[in-house]
Structure 1
Amino acid sequence: MLDLLRKNKIVAGILAIFRIYLGYQFLHAGFGKIVGGSFDATGFLQGAIASSTGEHPAVQGWWALFLKNVALPNSELFTFLVQWGELLVGIALILGLFTNFAVLMGMLMNFSFLFSGTVSTNAQMVLLGIFVVVAGENSGKYGLDRYAIPYFRKLLKNGTKKNKKGSLAA
């Protein structure tokens, strides 16, 4: 099964569809937040913290403590990170550039939203993201990773050869 995900060309095409769908979702969300100009994470953070109390809390206490003590005091930073993170992850996934890193960052955001009590499409996006991550390079086969990964491997290999010859490492 793992070989099928990581080496099959047909699966690479299906993964490209997953990747582009995820990219569109992130791009759309991030672009809307940036262009709209009214996005502010403060209200969302306060709502998540409030959801950590009561008889059936939607947010776990440890996460609420993180939100209250780290995220809320730095809500401007988190506002910036969410909107630009969504936009950049979306662009990278659509282009198939640094696919595994992009999908991992997207999943980090999805899990953060899930931990904060928001369901929406986050669970579905995490599930699709798992397939993309497990498939490794095959996820970006029909994207810019097809060219970028070999290029960076070559750079890394050449850098390693120079270091073995006695050059100082940068």
Structure 2
Amino acid sequence: MFIKFLKENRYVTPLLTVLRLYLGWEWMNAGWGKITSGKFDASGFLFGALKNMSGEHPAVQPWWGNFLKEVAIPYIDVFNAIVPWGEFLVGIGLILGIFTSFSILMGLTMNFAYMLSGTTSTNPQMVLLGMFILAAGINAEKIGLDHWIIPLLGKLIYKKADNQQFSKST
């Protein structure tokens, strides 16, 4: 019932837009700060997460710690590039309202990665707000570029599929 409310109520659209803009600003600002400082290095964060893998109730679960050890740390240069740009681009996508569902999904993925690494900060609140936007679907995209882009993409895809079907039958 609540999901239907988020998806269909036209009065919720402006509230979803405010949430989207807030999250977009947070992501864009975080990414831009890392990009412009030129000093972003995730290795300290990742090694700190590995230290939180021990104890009776570890903050970082062993399976995630193994991912950090085996994938993230060996490719730290890649992560040092994709984290700031990922944050920045998620923010831009949410602010402009373009590919909103994909943008919020990528933002949620980063939030969960940070939380799995043992940090909370604003991540839980961003996850909660992001879930509202993701659940609302198109209703969260009505005030933004998706309002025009998504129908255009649908027409282009439909036209291409229709042309392919026509060429197969002749």
Q: TM-score, normalised to structure 2's length?
A: 0.95
Separation in 2 of the partners of 1:10 and 1:75? Answer: 45
Structure 2 unaligned residues grouped into runs of 5+: none
Separation in 1 of the partners of 2:24 and 2:140? Answer: 13
- Is 1:143 aligned to residue 116 of structure 2? no
Separation in 2 of the partners of 1:166 and 1:95? Answer: 38
Counterpart of 2:158 in structure 1 is 157
Separation in 1 of the partners of 2:161 and 2:140? Answer: 27
Percent of aligned positions with the same letter in both sequences? Answer: 50
Counterpart of 1:118 in structure 2 is 119
Residue type of the partner of 1:119?
T
Q: CA deviation at 1:140?
A: 1.1
Separation in 2 of the partners of 1:159 and 1:106? Answer: 31
Structure 1 unaligned residues grouped into runs of 5+: none
Counterpart of 2:96 in structure 1 is 95
SS state at 1:9 partner? coil
Superposed, 1:6-155 pairs within 5 Å as 6-155=7-156
Number of residue-to-residue matches in the alignment: 167
Residue type of the partner of 1:161?
D
Residue type of the partner of 1:11?
V
Q: Aligned Cα RMSD in Å? A: 1.0
Q: CA deviation at 1:86?
A: 0.1
Q: CA deviation at 1:135?
A: 0.7
Residue type of the partner of 1:112?
A
Q: CA deviation at 1:3?
A: 2.9
